[in-house]
Structure 1
Amino acid sequence: MADKNKPKLVKYEDNEWEFVFPPSIESEEVEENFFFGIEQLGKNDLVAETILKSLIYKNPFHLDAYAHLSIAFKNQEKTFESFLTAEKAYNLGKSLLPKKFDIKKDKLPWGYWDNRPFLRVCHTLGLEYQHRKEYQKAIDIYYEILQYNSDDNQGIRYLLLECLFLLKDYKKAEEFINKYPDDWSIDFLYGKLIIEILKDNKDVKTLLDEAIECNEFLPKEIIKTKHKAPSAGKFDEFGVVSGSVQEAFMYWNRNKKLYKNKKIIDFFKVNFKNS
């Protein structure tokens, strides 16, 4: 394969790097086909698969095509193909990093547009591991992404926290949450509270109040015996509205194994009405 068709990385100030893709990948025709392909995801995934495979055949380093091909396979319940595609894309992307790239100090900021395909590829593989219940492998990938892009434009820290809870590694979950003292999301505020509940800490009123201020509907969701998705509701520019009943259900559903813990359920049965 000619070097001219292989992406390269360039280094800027402050240890920031950026992928540079060749014209063969960034041509208008290729981009049009790519965006048409991803528009088919969820509507006609077989068409998406065909288009993305064709792009990869002609452009073997089209990382974004790999990432979305994995999604097309997963949507068709071709789970083996989905995993292999994500794994191949990740390894391909890693092979492009120069030897002098030091993950301990060098960065691949999301703000550089052409870094996004590789970061998406990493994200895709992390999700594959998570769906396969290989939670430690998912955690390792998620930590790696956060090293590349500490601004976390992809919301990787929430997936990482989910995996730590699934492994019941509450000590590491607590340490991880404490790295983000300014994160006021439902994941982190309720995560802090849950850890203290599991530690049998009775002095949690402040944490409970902060969590309920973030989302008042989650306690009711936790103590239900039957769970049903609410109506679609309203969405803002970031997706589900923060503090909504829809957010509460989606968060509970992502973490339902954690919230089946009897100690957690009993806590909210006792404290919810008095909060």
Structure 2
Amino acid sequence: MPFNSLQGPMPTEQAMQEVLAEIQGGNFETIDEINDFLNKKLLNPTPKKAPSSNKDRAQQMIYEAMEVQGAKRYKLAEEALNLDPNCIDAYVILAENASTPEEAMVLSKKGMEIGKKELGKDFFKENKGHFWMILETRPYMRAKANYAETLYELELGIVAIKEYEELLELNPNDNQGIRYKLFPVYLETGNLLEAEKLLRQYEEKTAHGLYNKLLLELCKNGFSANAAKLLKEAKKANPHVIPFLTDKNSIPMFLPKGYRLGDESEAIIYADEHFQFWEKIEGLQKWLKKQ
């Protein structure tokens, strides 16, 4: 699994965008005709058509930028913005390279507001609940997620919660992994009830799901019998987490780009995101040694 889930699988999205453009530009009258077209395309792929507008050319540059790192990434984003001043994803990428969290917040917010205006109020009402499945919403969703993240970095947790919750309302399937970002903000702001609701909504037998369930129990009820039970379940799902939470293993400076469930890579990413909450629990290491 990719570590940064906010952006999504860009190559897949790019391919979907290209096929959608061909379908929209074709003279198809029935679903059967579209299916025939797709089947023929799978059997006999045709060369990619050059983008026909500045908006399309800008988005093509963004897809290229998402596949590279460093100066080239940000140069492509700037070029995309020159072609299309309303290129939302360009603002998302440039926010990564911002010199301050405040600047990142401004850039992300600008992209988000452009997306909101382009989609329109009626679109939000009609498509709420399955937003991510509509390709044209994704730049807006990425910008909004980045905006929420910068708010949290600026210690504006209450405002960040609102943005994250709105993202989950628009897309309860949570393809972006917003729930993993929202849970720590709930803890940081003392919203334990909302944190509990979130874990129930997204019941997961993974390190994030099970260790967060344990973490919440420890915050609410201390070293209870239920906490001991939850610890066993969590260790069964990924035994590598505890050594990182107790400083037996150090969290590496460079995090994995992806992770496998039950693997040490998953443990590193979980510990990096949640260590600050675990270290606040007095007597944790002593309790863990007894279990």
Which category describes the TM-score, using the shorter chain as reference length?
Answer: 0.7 to 0.9
Query: Given residue 109 of structure 1, which amino acid in structure 2 is its aligned partner?
Result: F
1:28-177 matched pairs, under 5 angstroms: 29-41=57-69, 43-44=70-71, 47-71=72-96, 73-74=97-98, 77-101=99-123, 103=125, 106-177=128-199
Does the 8 Å CA contact 1:24/1:59 hold for their aligned counterparts? no
**8 A contact 1:230–1:246 mirrored in 2:** no
* Residue identity (%): 22
2:53 aligned with 1:24? yes
SS of the residue aligned with 2:201?
coil
Q: CA deviation at 1:228?
A: 3.9
194 and 79 in structure 1: CA distance in 2 versus 1, 3 angstrom threshold: closer
1:86 Cα deviation after fit: 0.5
Normalized per residue, which structure has more helix? 2
Q: Which amino acid aligns with 1:34?
A: I
Once the two structures are superposed, the pairs formed by residues 106-255 of structure 1 within 5 Å of their partners are 106-181=128-203, 183-198=204-219, 199-200=221-222, 202-204=224-226, 205-224=228-247, 227-229=250-252, 239-255=258-274
Q: 1: CA distance between counterparts of 2:156 and 2:238?
A: 30
> CA 1:78/1:119 → structure 2, altered by over 3 Å: closer, same or farther?
same
Root-mean-square deviation (CA), in Å? 2.8
Does residue 260 in structure 1 map to residue 285 in structure 2? Answer: no
1:102, 1:150 → 2: CA distance? 14
Deviates more, 1:165-174 or 1:84-93: 165-174
Q: Secondary structure at the match of 2:145?
A: helix
TM-superposed deviation, 1:39: 4.1
Give unmatched runs, 5+ long, in structure 2: 1-50
For 2:287, the equivalent position in structure 1 comes to 270
Q: Which stretch shifts more, 191-200 or 30-39? A: 30-39
Q: Which amino acid aligns with 1:257?
A: Q
Moved over 6 A (4+): 230-233
| Distance (Å, rounded) in 2 between the aligned partners of 1:179 and 1:32 | 36
Q: CA deviation at 1:230?
A: 8.3
1:108 Cα offset (Å): 4.5
Query: SS of the counterpart of 2:275?
Result: coil
Q: 1:130 to 1:230 in 2, by over 3 A?
A: closer
Contact kept, 8 Å, 2:59 with 2:87, in 1: the verdict is no
SS in 2 for 1:96: helix
Cα 1:56–1:193, aligned 2, differ >3 Å: closer, same or farther? same
- Mapped to 2, the partners of 1:256 and 1:103 lie a distance apart of 39
For normalisation by structure 1, the TM-score amounts to 0.75
In the aligned structure 2, how far is the partner of 1:31 from the partner of 1:133?
32
Distance 1:225 1:251, change over 3 A: same
Distance in 2 between residues matched to 1:243 and 1:95, nearest whole Å: 42
Structure 1 match to 2:26: none
After superposition, the Cα gap between the structure-2 partners of 1:99 and 1:169, relative to the gap in structure 1 and judged at 3 Å, is closer
The total of aligned residue pairs comes to 239
Deviation (angstroms), 1:32: 4.1
Structure 2 vs 1, CA of residues 176 and 38 (structure 1 numbering), >3 Å: closer, same or farther?
closer
- Measured in 1, the distance between the counterparts of 2:100 and 2:253 equals 29
Q: Distance in 2 between matches of 1:110 and 1:247?
A: 25
- Structure 2 distance, partners of 1:148, 1:23, is 31
1:187-224 CA-to-partner distances (Å, cap 9, x unmatched) read 22111112222213622233122111121122222222
Q: Is the 8 A contact 1:184 1:214 kept in 2?
A: yes
Shift of the 249–34 alpha-carbon distance from structure 1 to 2, 3 Å rule, reads closer
